[in-house]
Structure 1
């Protein structure tokens, strides 16, 4: 980043973590602009990153849908077995006073990640294919960024891992297709977030709206 120049406020960029201000300078492909104070990545353009994010988001949407339909795991104990999907586990208390908790769990591990992925596809697809931004694309991308801390697929995976370790001594556990889909989903979401250059997305939305 270069020395701060306040003559043109539109050319400033603020660090989302510590609010430090810098003059906006686009680094070359494969290079990154990093905050000198907290080392947060501010700009990280990559070639064909948009296509890669679209492909990853599409795969993640398919995995989210599959992970809610197919069995997540099967437990066998004393000659009896039972299988459950992610939605079965999330809605286990739907019929009682913990209905709000069940709905919250379902939203955090299924609905919010799915909505965020669809919003990213809605915003990036026209930009990548050199078309005008979709209607209210800025609002959609802002909402996708706001949903990021609340999309807790990886937290659910970690909680399942801890629970399965404790249950393994009491019963035989078999992982269903949804379990592996969910693991793949967590990996894809992490890679996708690493590929998205938010500065580039905002810049594209602003430039393509200009007459």
Structure 2
């Protein structure tokens, strides 16, 4: 009788790659081992150390750090004998007070609401995994974890704080409060919480392995009459309405096809124009208002000698959004034209656009920080400009556009060309 695998080993379910649809039979993974797709190299699943307990510890520590980050002064600013202190929450409340409800809502969700929901859900799910908890509640919380993870932007906000610090150092004395250092800890612990858990392992731990299947590893799921669940990775039959394990809606390809991606891209391209033409912030100094566009801020930083920061802002706020829009336009066009050449090259381009998109929010966060901190009514005050709303719309809509694009369409074209040959 063969020896049973050690408890630290993990046999992942038969699944299909969510980026190219290639089937992957069940495989036993040793501790620390990662399973990649054999065709496109996408990470299918990982056997991370102590996944049942580490996320709980990191998550609890992150929540403690979040409480501390809201308990003390975040940053202080002093110039010409006048000073101003700012708490973390003032970044958001200032936007709301000035009538920028959309920006306030974006910051509230990406920095507070969604991260806390993520941390609470991940701890509750793992804590109750071996205890009695209603299956429907477990499925709902686990689906929520998978869906909100791309929208956690605490790390982007931290980079925005550092850029704001560089912008202000030339005009005033800046001090970082205790809350800033607690926020750094909160950011690092949140990243550790996310990176210490594999979602396919979680679904298998919660609801057990799926049925064993005989798979042809060189065949796509659609060719084999199967559908891969985009949330838990379980395989279902063609025509099956919902996943038997996680309850998510099953679709062989993302609904809406290219039409939804085209519509989102056109919307973001339209918003990109006012985002660069209108001022992203207005500086009132001794009664005089000085508007600043995104490019104007880059030029100012460059003239001050802050070349690395100017380059970061230029790349993140000008180059990346435009490049992402153009790259997705090109991918949609090539897929619609039926071009099946170089699928791996197209997929790498798509991965890059999907990864860098969220970092364009840096400039919006910088504006929020400066508006919350610099409130010296008789000397200098900074207000968000209309471009801040348009620019945040560009970033969020391009993120949704990248998520709505189905990279498996690229490989469908290659398969179609092989069949015609």
TM-score range, shorter chain: 0.7 to 0.9
1:1-211 matched pairs, under 5 angstroms: 11-127=13-129, 130-133=130-133, 135=135, 136-207=137-208
Instruction: Deviation per CA, 1:140-169: give whole Å up to 9, x if none.
Output: 011111111111101111111111111111
Query: TM-score, length-normalised on structure 1?
Result: 0.85
Higher mean C-alpha displacement, 68-77 vs 112-121 = 68-77
Pairwise CA distance, 1:133: 4.6
- The DSSP-based 3-state class of the residue aligned with 2:52 is helix
TM-score by length of 2: 0.44
Separation in 2, partners of 1:14, 1:83: 52
Larger Rg: 2
After superposition, the Cα gap between the structure-2 partners of 1:34 and 1:85, relative to the gap in structure 1 and judged at 3 Å, is: same
| CA spacing shift, 1:193–1:38, aligned 2, 3 Å | farther
Q: Which runs of 5+ in 2 are unaligned?
A: 1-11, 210-244, 246-421
Q: CA contact under 8 A between 2:146 and 2:199: conserved in structure 1?
A: no
Q: Is the 8 A contact 1:74 1:81 kept in 2?
A: yes
Which 4+ runs in 1 deviate beyond 6 A?
none
Report the more deviating stretch, 152-161 or 101-110: 101-110
Counterpart secondary structure, 1:93: helix
- Given the superposition, is the C-alpha separation of residues 75 and 196 from structure 1 closer, same or farther in structure 2, using an over 3 Å criterion? same
Please list the CA deviations of residues 104-138 of structure 1 after superposition, one character each: whole Å capped at 9, or x if unmatched.
212211111111110111111122xx324555112
> Contact conserved, 1:91 with 1:106, CA < 8 A, in 2?
no
Distance 2:172 2:20 in 1: 48
Gaps of 5+ in 1: 1-9
- Residues 202 and 74 (structure 1), Cα distance of their counterparts in 2 relative to 1, 3 Å cut: same
